[in-house]
Amino acid sequence: MNKAKSFYKLMVTLLCGVFMTLSFTGCIFDFVTDDSGSEDLGEDVPNGDYMITLNSETSVTLSGVQGKAILYANFNTSNRVINYPRYYTGASNYAIATGSITTFTPSASYVGAARTAIEPDVETVNDDTILKHFVPKEKFHVDTSSIPVSRTAIDQTSYNSFATTFNVGNEKEFYVDNDVDMETYVLKNCVLAAKGTNANGTTVCLVWVDEDLYTQNGSNYGKNINQTMAQNLASKFGQYYEKERNVFGDEFESLFYTNGSWAGSLSDVNVCDTGPLVNIIVYDIGNDYTDSNDGNHTNSQTEECGVEGYFYSKDYFVRNPDSSRIDRYSNEGKYFYIDAAFCNYNGTAQNSAGETVYAYNGISGNGVSGSVISTLFHEFQHMINFRQKANADDDPAWYNEMLSMLAEDMMREQLGLNESVRKERLPAFNKYYRYSGIDEMLEGRDAVISYATAYTFGAWLAREYGGTELVKEISQNSYVGMESIKNAIYVKTGYNFSTLQLFKMYLAACVFRPTFATNAAHRLPSHYKDGGNLIESFALTKINLFGSNYGYSVGGTTYYGPILYGPAVQLPVRPHGFVLHSIGTATTDTVTLNFSPRTNSGDQIVIFVQDAFSNTQSDTLAE
């Protein structure tokens, strides 16, 4: 059977209920002022009872909607910002009450003839968390065809062989960043503080600590790290090293020259002195730490950097002192970099000035903070991804980060991290989603919004289409970006979705509250589904995007679910992004909704109908 036709039958089943009929009125003016960003995202989702798309139409009549909440989205199918999207102009033969939904009108907004200024495409947002990851400024590519087939993998005996050449207390110099822009590097002497072994007792990692921060048997505080904490970091990575590989695949076991050609196997002592072992370097990332009066690292002192840890593919290249690229600072091998102060991070403790402090707060016993543990396995996915997608033309940053956050998501319960990535990303998504498109990676501090958007999209995909088995297929197939996602879904489900269909179903999952979406009569897209298909017992459990765990505050009031704007508010829409509006609750059976003419072919209006709700109350389904 044609899978696209099968999909349409499925969507008609999902979207068609019993209470509504609709009709369209053609638009009076249908002109396009800027098609420079237009693109073909494939077939669209068919209209149904709960989700209706307006393209060139300016009016739609809904029947059987009394008591129902009516919302709409500006959805941008183009690859450019739409500064003047369509907006709601009113309704006829209707009665709509504001109801219990609170809407917002940003001070920089503009409507119709009252336009006075264009809101910036992206505003710098002070997110509720300073925890960030580093996106490397330079990308490196390798020629995998030059790797001898017989030397792409290394057996466990090689790990142990290299491990015996290093003893706790040994010292070694490494190149590390030395400023908040992470553009200058220095050699830093570090002490081998711990080794990590896997379930078979094979040493798989070495933890090195900056000698100036290593307290040996002293107390952990600020940026000071002792041997017990270092061992906890090493042991945790060793315990889950193979498990993460079983989902995402293997990392490279070779070094390469600057031109990308193969330079030798890591099992060769003449190639790399630490061989196939993973090296975790703990120091002050960005060299930005400053002691406060109480001796702790504070939020205000990390605003310029705030990076917990990172992987940089430069270390997979032979150090070339004459290179103009960052590989002149290669440490030649498998390397992660972890911020020492974040190892002591306590997201709730505050000093007398009300600043978040870095007093020791391990997740168990004398362990490293849960935030750093989560970051470590996030970064390991990046190392693996460097190999898995080595032959792809271009690996989009949002896609790579999505996979890393899914690693955090699926491993969180086994790692003892509770909400972890969910609590970090979902409230930010709910509050700031409109600043980043679905498949967009913003730069600088605004990147934190794209992290939230990429995670929320990936979390829905994994729960809807195959759990960890889907994530494995996405990670290990030969594609990147949306092509990788679509191919993985096809392999796992047989559904041949277009990019637009996936975007629109995801949009629905961000609008329909779980109590309504999961009703047996509706069965609509939702994050509130178990991913199933476990690998290594990693679970992708239900997410209630509208639940109490992911609320956010505006003006002293807590709201749940993605923020809703007023019905006539007109705001720029990011490429493949959306802005959600509430029109209100219908008090009559039939209403006709009217919208301004479309002036950009990428500008869609998507109307949603669901049961009445209040966005100041969390959805009643369990978290």
Of 319, 322, 221, 304, the C-alpha closest to 271 is 319
Answer whether 190's CB lies under 8 Å from 283's CB.
yes
Encoded amino acid at 378, one letter: H
Residue 279 in this model has a pLDDT that exceeds 90: yes
Give the Cα separation of 306 and 288 in Å (integer). Answer: 9
Alpha carbon distance 52, 46 (integer Å): 8
Task: Please tell me the least confidently modeled range out of 86-100, 327-341, 410-424, 606-620.
Answer: 86-100
- For residue 277, name the pLDDT band (cuts at 50, 70, 90): very high
Angle at 431 between CA 429 and CA 434, to 5 degrees: 75
Global model pTM greater than 0.75: yes
- Residues of the chain with pLDDT > 70: what percent? 82
Which residues, including other chains, have CB under 8 Å from residue 28's CB and lie 6 or more apart?
Answer: 58, 597
SS3 58: coil
The answer, yes or no, to whether residue 356 has pLDDT greater than 50, is no
With H, G, I as helix, E, B as strand and everything else as coil, classify residue 134. coil
pLDDT by residue (tens digit) across 498-549? 999 999 999 999 999 999 999 978 889 999 999 987 899 998 999 999 999 9
Does residue 208 contact residue 279 with C-beta atoms inside 8 Å? yes
Q: How confident is the model at residue 97 (pLDDT cuts 50, 70, 90)?
A: low
- Among the listed residues 524, 512, 516, 527, the one whose alpha carbon sits nearest the alpha carbon of residue 459: 527
Task: Compute the distance between CA of residue 159 and CA of residue 279 in angstroms, rounded to an integer.
Answer: 12
Residue 583 in contact with residue 592, Cβ under 8 Å? no
Strands 68-76 and 603-611: antiparallel
Phi, psi of 30 (to 5 degrees): -135, 80
Question: CB-based burial of residue 318 (10 Å sphere; 0-12 exposed, 13-18 middle, 19+ buried)?
Answer: middle
pLDDT of residue 151: 59
CB 161 within 8 A of CB 275: yes
Which has the closest alpha carbon to 339: 298, 304, 379, 310? 310
> What's the maximum distance between 2 C-alpha atoms anywhere in the chain?
82
| Cα separation of the two ends of the chain | 38
Q: Could you tell me if 401 and 451 are in contact, meaning their C-beta atoms sit under 8 angstroms apart?
A: yes
pLDDT given for residue 19 in this prediction = 37
pLDDT for the residue 562 = 97
Average pLDDT over residues 159-174: 94
CA 130 to CA 308: how far, in whole Å?
Answer: 9
CA distances from 565 to 544, 560, 578, 599 (A): 21, 14, 11, 21
In this structure, of 131-140, 412-421, 607-616, the range with the lowest mean pLDDT score is: 131-140
* Residues linked to residue 22 through DSSP beta bridges, in sequence order: 62
